Amino acid sequence: MAETLTFQSVLDHLLDSKKDIPQTHLKLYSDLDPKSLRLFMDVWSSVKPARKLLLLDGLLSQFESDNIVSYEAIGRALLNDLDGEVRARAIRLLAESQDPKLVEKLTDILLTDFDLAPRLEAAFLIGEFILLGELEAIKAELQRLAEDALIQIIRSNEDPSLRKACLEALGYSSRPEIVNLIEAAFQREDPTWVATALLAMGRSHDERWNSDVISMLLDEEPLIQAAAAQAAGELSIQEAGPILLKLLEDEDVDDNVVTAAIWSLSQIGGEDARIYLVNLIEQTEDEDLVEYLEDALENLEFHEELNKFDLLALDLDEDDVEEIDLEEMDELDEIWMKTKSNTYHNF
């Protein structure tokens, strides 16, 4: 009879650097109660540095593929770890947290941490909290604190990659001065800054950027093309659909542009986009690409269903809202959970 796997036995296994970390162990690190978290932290200092990163990479992989697990307790506990790579991975484990208490800690890491990796991850996650602020899900003063920290970095002489990450995060903000920051980056000759500006434009959901985004879809620089394609999808620019379809007919187009264009078509929608995705699924033998295309098709269907509910809500009286099919709403939630992490990635 198989022995029951306990968290203590999982921790004992973690201390043995000669053994692999089985995937079956990873789920036991999820949703740790205070007692289990104390046990974890008690052994953490005895785990070898490479072993720590191996575990955290495993947890991140599990986190990205499994919607049920949560490693937030571990992420919080390791924000002050002595190893910068551990701190960076700890922040990534907090990617789905909406706890406003994290804002001050993340801004402190962004402004004062000694290592670049956790500062980059902090900038990314701060952007998510700015989005929550725009949705009035966190207090305005916390949103302001986060925005001020990002602006401070952008206007400094810090590492360019950090400044770009901060500008992308600020794309979510509706503060008037952000427009000038995006425009300044867009006018630079450096293609990496132009791409950053385009990504910020996409996050803004502001139609003022539509013409700028469209103008970059056929740029000769793949980095700029991919960013423009992504922004076109996030802004749902209908005029970009035919351009993206034409772009995908080019056999020499960069792979990153292809993946960005495919996903953007799933966000823009339309019958032409649906036909293209279906035909491409039938024609390709690349399993990874097929999976990506299927996710894109599912995302297209999600956006179409979401639009239906938006239109329905405009015509409903308050009493009618209760009659909306709850099973259909559950299906929408399920599709959203499957597709929200696929906004832009390589196959």
Q: Would 90 be classed as within a structural domain?
A: yes
What CATH number has the domain bearing residue 311?
Answer: 1.25.10
pLDDT in tens, 49-87: 999 999 999 999 999 999 899 999 999 999 999 999 999
Q: Which of 104, 41, 114 is nearest to 84 (CA)?
A: 114
pLDDT in tens, 111-148: 999 999 999 999 999 999 999 999 999 999 999 999 99
Q: Would 170 be classed as within a structural domain?
A: yes
Q: For residue 313, give both structure tokens.
A: 């809500």
Do 136 and 247 have their domain in common?
no
Cα 55 to the chain's mean position, in Å? Answer: 21
Do 314 and 211 have their domain in common?
yes
Q: What integer pLDDT is reported at residue 309 of this predicted model?
A: 63
Boundary residue ending a domain (144, 175, 206)? 175
The Cα–Cα gap between 167 and 170 comes to: 5
Question: 269 vs 340, which has greater pLDDT?
Answer: 269
Domain assignment of residue 260, given as a range: 193-347
Q: Would 56 be classed as within a structural domain?
A: no
Do 169 and 198 have their domain in common?
no
Q: What integer pLDDT is reported at residue 251 of this predicted model?
A: 85
Do 206 and 341 have their domain in common?
yes
Q: Per the structure, how many domains does the chain have?
A: 2
pTM, whole model, 2 decimals?
Answer: 0.86
Asked if residues 225 and 217 have their Cβ atoms less than 8 Å apart, the reply is yes
Boundary residue ending a domain (124, 143, 175)? 175
Do 204 and 331 have their domain in common?
yes
pLDDT in tens, 25-59: 999 999 999 999 999 999 999 999 999 999 999 99
Q: What integer pLDDT is reported at residue 326 of this predicted model?
A: 46
Scored b (16 or more CB within 10 A) or e, 286-301 reads: eeebbebbebbbbbbb
Q: Would 4 be classed as within a structural domain?
A: no
